[in-house]
Amino acid sequence: MRYVALICARGGSKGLPGKNIKSLGGVPLIGRSIQIAKQVNRIDRVIVSTDSEIIANIAREYGAEVPFIRPDELSDSFSGISDVMKHAINWLNLNGFDIENACCVYATAPFIKKIDIISGLNKLITSDYDYVLSVGEFESSVQRAVVNKDEKGLSMLFSMKNFDIRSQDFESVYFDAGQFCWGKKNAWINDKIFNNNTGFIEIPSDRTIDIDTKQDWDKAELLYKIKKGLENE
């Protein structure tokens, strides 16, 4: 079995510049992701795909491989994770490392845990799923969401019938927790994610912060301090 963790971290973040290397508790965010991935014994290699030499150097300091620099056409704000993963997997295949399963580990997941990555892999290899994704559950009933269309006032995003349904009667709705996604090699190459054959590992709400903005960062810092305080009690 050949399993690889691929961490995708471009240098040109717009929402929160430099977010991949911002320090939380003395460790850059990408360093935390690398450390957790390296703790999973069944992962053979931890590889960072980046267009930034700064990120590449930090990644190497924390024990990741950076065997290539990501091409410019996969390094702008429109480049999707699937394309970046496909590029990395094809590069590995062409360079003599034929993988079976690959885990996309997000560079900005400060509260990711080893046990969740292991659980995701176990579900992938014991099922017929193409992917297993980390998710969080929406805490409020998104079926009752309202929007302000054309500045004309609020209206229901979905059916008006949902307004009178009890919250506990709605089915659970999930969002991508932005921590990891395991996938079989052929699934990554053929872009089959969310094809009704994707399993999930649910992450508790106190660990589902995916950092994209300054507000996300402030929330992560506060939560980190709270968690550290509880550990020291």
Q: What is the CATH number of domain 3-136+173-231?
A: 3.90.550.10
Of 215, 220, 217, 179, residue with least CA distance to 200: 179
String of DSSP letters for 171-233: PP-EEEEEEEEEEEHHHHHTT-TTSS-EEEEEPPGGG-----SHHHHHHHHHHHHHHHHHHT-
Contact assessment for residue 29 and residue 20, using Cβ atoms and an 8 Å cutoff: yes
Return the pLDDT at 169.
Answer: 83
Strands (E), 50-173: 101-106, 131-137, 146-148, 154-156
- The enclosing H or E element of 28 equals strand 27-28
Contact assessment for residue 90 and residue 67, using Cβ atoms and an 8 Å cutoff: no
Return the pLDDT at 222.
Answer: 93
Return the pLDDT at 230.
Answer: 64
Task: Flag residues of the chain having pLDDT under 70.
Answer: 1, 77, 192, 230-233
Domain-wise residue ranges, the chain: 3-136+173-231, 139-172
| Tokens describing residue 140 | 């409020």
Burial tier of 36 (Cβ tally within 10 Å: 0-12, 13-18, 19+): buried
Cross-strand bridge partners of residue 176:
135
Contact assessment for residue 146 and residue 155, using Cβ atoms and an 8 Å cutoff: yes
Return the pLDDT at 233.
Answer: 56
Who's near 202: CB < 8 A, 6+ residues apart? 135, 136, 137, 174
Taking residue 61's Cβ as centre, other Cβ atoms within 10 Å add up to 11
Return the pLDDT at 74.
Answer: 83
Cα separation of 204 and 30, whole Å?
Answer: 21
pLDDT in tens, 64-121: 999 999 988 888 767 788 899 999 999 999 999 999 999 999 999 999 999 999 999 9
String of DSSP letters for 99-130: -SEEEEEETT-TT--HHHHHHHHHHHHTSS-S
Return the pLDDT at 221.
Answer: 93
